[in-house]
Amino acid sequence: MKKALLMAVAMFLPISIFLFLKFFGKNEFVVEPLFQKNDSTVTIACNKQIIYPYKVSIQQLDTLLKSNQATLTAISFSEDEERLKDFAQRVRDKFTLSEISLYQVELDSLISNRNSKFEIIKLDKASLEEAKTCVFLLSGLNNLVLVDREGNIRGQYQLGNLDEEDRLLVETTIILKKY
């Protein structure tokens, strides 16, 4: 009798928890925009006061990206052509042009002879560094930023690190489900 009761509870408990969570639980991930609260751990390389919540101004985005209509924009500051090519292929295999656009920021003195899936943005050295550190707030090894249509920085990544690239792909999928 005790064994039968124990077996019934052992069967009923996981099923009841599953059904409860199925009907009343909310199982979703959220990728919050970065720099929405004053965080003292954020260090800015330029002499710029950050106003929270921080957004890249639409004017700055329009100046850099011209006529971008995609929901999300990945902007790379990497010079590793092989990694850029591989990453672009992974993104294009998973997302459409209307979902995510790819931009590569490079020095205007470089000659681009590559057949890239990135739109190329040419800047002088000072403008490139300002865009990287003062506009997109990249620091450390991060050289790729994901920005949404409203100018929110949705993520910063290290191009060339497969774990970081995978994280970008997963976070992009999550963000696009909300749009």
| pTM, two decimal places | 0.78
Residue 41 pLDDT level (bands cut at 50, 70, 90): low
What pLDDT sits at residue 112? Answer: 60
Rounded distance between C-alpha atoms, residue 42 and residue 76, angstroms: 20
Residue 75 pLDDT level (bands cut at 50, 70, 90): very high
* Domains defined along the chain, listed by start: 29-178 (3.40.30.10)
For residue 43, pLDDT over 70 is answered with no
For residue 35, pLDDT over 90 is answered with no
Residue 15 pLDDT level (bands cut at 50, 70, 90): very high
What pLDDT sits at residue 67? Answer: 63
What pLDDT sits at residue 116? Answer: 65
For residue 13, pLDDT over 70 is answered with yes
Asked whether 73 and 65 are in contact (CB, 8 A), the reply is yes
**For 29-34, which contacts have Cβ atoms below 8 Å and span 24 or more sequence positions?**
29/174, 30/174, 31/154, 31/155, 31/171, 31/174, 31/175, 33/148, 33/152, 33/153, 33/154, 34/137, 34/152, 34/153, 34/154, 34/155, 34/156
**Mean pLDDT, the chain, integer:** 84
pLDDT tens figures, 107-141 = 876 666 555 678 888 888 888 888 888 888 888 89
What pLDDT sits at residue 42? Answer: 59
What pLDDT sits at residue 44? Answer: 63
What pLDDT sits at residue 59? Answer: 75
What pLDDT sits at residue 38? Answer: 76
pLDDT (mean) for 46-55: 77
